[in-house]
């Protein structure tokens, strides 16, 4: 393997590890803020215990997110130094704003919330956790605007003197639809991830009849938000799939194992390719479905991998522009399948609550902790 391949592997592993913690903390902090608010308004000790318990787990994962994020920042400059130099005036500025404004806001007020109980007033203590939650939200916005710009670069020119990208329209950058779509998807993932996390841990305690006054309300909150978050995750993911046809047609073709252009395009239930990964051997497909999912009509043309490869060779020069399709094809299906499992798990949890904690249903909660790995892929 050459240096580029090794750099891709290293950066991919770092990014995957970092994002295990990001959506969990992005969603979990809002639960903590709500529990803290309920304690402030009612004075009931159970809400304080709920905020403290989930707050400790938040802090552990928040710390891991910081550590893995710092490594990722270093790799931008070390693995991809030329790219960082080329887009630094835009991409680097967004990351700097995220650090100087959102991250410091979050970190400072998290510190007040951790150490301030009994030292500051209850109102200030409550204010601190809400400011930390707002800081985490702002942090994700700046990061995903940077990611959105990489997918859909807008508002820039190539400086004729430096040869680097230079921002000329900050409004276009801040209103980039790709960035806001990524934010919607990431925030939905945060809610769904935190909900599954809470449902799994709460189920473990409920089955053992331990601290029910803390974990039954946590379970209810996780079930309600889990249904909403998982549904929004599916819907925003669907919207990203439609946007993919415009900005990343090769990605869409590869996740559907669509070697040749089709109009209308079928959806692959199962496709087996040859050992080279360059052609289809056997498949089960649903006619018209990919066209409908990508365009909301049954007569939409979806470009195939072979045609896009030829187009990119003519535009950018000879090279292999086709991703490793066995990875893109199966990772997408695993991701979509896990999203559906999350939705059904949250719906079942809500059904348990609505059926007044029926013992016949509670026994099935033993499977809920096993759902922990599900959010790692959709997120």
Q: Is residue 137 domain-shared with residue 210, that is, in the same domain? A: no
Q: Is residue 367 domain-shared with residue 249, that is, in the same domain? A: yes
CB 136 within 8 A of CB 187: no
Provide φ and ψ at 303, rounded to 5°: -70, 145
Which of 173, 208, 233 is where one domain is finished? 173
240/235 Cα distance (integer angstroms): 9
**Element housing 377 (H / E):** none
pLDDT for 103 equals 82
**Which of these, 211, 175, 176, 177, lies nearest to 50 by C-alpha position?**
211
- What is the domain extent for residue 336? 176-379
Which of 142, 173, 204 is where one domain is finished? 173
For 204, half-sphere exposure in the C-beta direction (CA atoms, 13 angstrom radius) is 9
Residues of the chain with pLDDT under 50: 379
Q: Is residue 237 domain-shared with residue 353, that is, in the same domain? A: yes
Please measure the distance between the N-terminal and C-terminal CA atoms of the chain and give it in whole angstroms.
29
**Element housing 167 (H / E):** strand 165-167
pLDDT for 277 equals 61
Distances, alpha carbon 50 to alpha carbons 14, 46, 56, 198, in Å: 32, 6, 10, 11
CB 332 within 8 A of CB 255: yes
Distances, alpha carbon 287 to alpha carbons 50, 265, 305, in Å: 50, 7, 18
Three-state SS for 66-86 is HHHHHHHHHHHHHCCHHHHHH
Q: Is residue 94 domain-shared with residue 210, that is, in the same domain? A: no
| Structural domains in the chain (count) | 2
Tell me which residue has tokens 């959010």. Answer: 375
Which of 173, 198, 225 is where one domain is finished? 173
pLDDT for 273 equals 75
pLDDT for 25 equals 93
Q: Could you read off the pLDDT of 41-92 as tens digits, one per residue?
A: 999 999 999 999 999 999 999 999 989 988 988 898 889 989 999 998 898 8
Q: Is residue 35 domain-shared with residue 88, that is, in the same domain? A: yes
Please name the residue ranges forming H helices in the chain: 3-42, 45-78, 81-87, 93-97, 104-115, 122-151, 170-174, 177-207, 212-247, 249-255, 289-295, 305-316, 325-354, 359-362
Q: Is residue 208 domain-shared with residue 245, that is, in the same domain? A: yes
Q: Is residue 169 domain-shared with residue 183, that is, in the same domain? A: no
For 369, half-sphere exposure in the C-beta direction (CA atoms, 13 angstrom radius) is 9
Q: Is residue 344 domain-shared with residue 204, that is, in the same domain? A: yes
Provide φ and ψ at 120, rounded to 5°: -115, 165
For 359, half-sphere exposure in the C-beta direction (CA atoms, 13 angstrom radius) is 2
Q: Is residue 200 domain-shared with residue 153, that is, in the same domain? A: no
Question: Within 10 A of 253 (CB to CB), how many other CB atoms are there?
Answer: 30
Q: Is residue 264 domain-shared with residue 345, that is, in the same domain? A: yes
pLDDT for 276 equals 61
**Which of these, 273, 358, 363, lies nearest to 324 by C-alpha position?**
273
Enumerate residues 6+ apart whose C-beta is below 8 A from 369.
200, 201, 203, 204
Q: Is residue 232 domain-shared with residue 374, that is, in the same domain? A: yes
pLDDT for 99 equals 84
Q: Is residue 17 domain-shared with residue 137, that is, in the same domain? A: yes
């Amino acid at each position: 393997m050459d240096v580029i391949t090794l750099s891709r592997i290293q950066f991919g592993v770092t990014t995957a590890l970092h994002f295990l913690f990001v959506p969990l903390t992005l969603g979990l902090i809002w639960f903590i803020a709500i529990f803290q608010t309920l304690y402030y308004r009612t004075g009931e000790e159970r809400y304080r215990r709920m905020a403290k318990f989930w707050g400790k787990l938040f802090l552990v994962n928040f710390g891991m997110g910081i550590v893995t994020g710092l490594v990722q920042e270093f790799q931008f400059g070390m693995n991809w130094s030329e790219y960082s130099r080329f887009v630094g005036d835009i991409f680097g500025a967004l990351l700097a704003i995220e650090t100087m404004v959102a991250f410091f806001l979050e970190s400072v007020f998290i510190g007040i919330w951790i150490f301030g109980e009994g030292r500051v007033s209850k109102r200030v203590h409550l204010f601190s956790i809400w400011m930390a939650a707002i800081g985490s939200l702002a942090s994700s916005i700046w990061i995903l605007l940077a990611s959105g710009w990489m997918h859909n670069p807008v508002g820039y020119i190539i400086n004729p003197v430096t040869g680097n990208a230079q921002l000329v329209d900050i409004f276009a950058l801040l209103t980039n639809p790709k960035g806001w779509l990524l934010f919607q998807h990431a925030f939905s993932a945060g809610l769904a991830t935190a909900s599954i996390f809470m449902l799994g841990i709460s189920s473990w305690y409920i089955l053992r009849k331990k601290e029910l006054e803390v974990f039954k309300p946590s379970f209810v909150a996780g079930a309600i938000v889990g249904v909403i978050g998982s549904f929004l995750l599916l819907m925003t993911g669907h919207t990203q799939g439609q946007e993919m046809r415009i900005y990343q047609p090769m990605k869409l073709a590869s996740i559907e194992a669509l070697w040749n252009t089709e109009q209308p395009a079928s959806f692959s239930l199962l496709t087996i390719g040859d050992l080279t990964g360059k052609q289809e051997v056997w498949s089960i497909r649903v006619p018209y479905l990919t066209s409908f999912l990508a365009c909301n009509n049954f007569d939409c043309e979806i470009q195939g991998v072979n045609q896009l490869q030829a187009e990119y060779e003519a535009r950018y020069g000879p090279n292999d522009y086709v991703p490793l399709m066995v990875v893109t094809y199966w990772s997408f299906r695993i991701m979509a399948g896990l999203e559906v499992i999350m939705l059904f798990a949250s719906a079942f949890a809500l059904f348990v609550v609505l059926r007044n904690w029926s013992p016949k249903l509670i026994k099935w909660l033993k499977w809920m902790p096993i759902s922990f790995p599900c959010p790692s892929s959709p997120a």
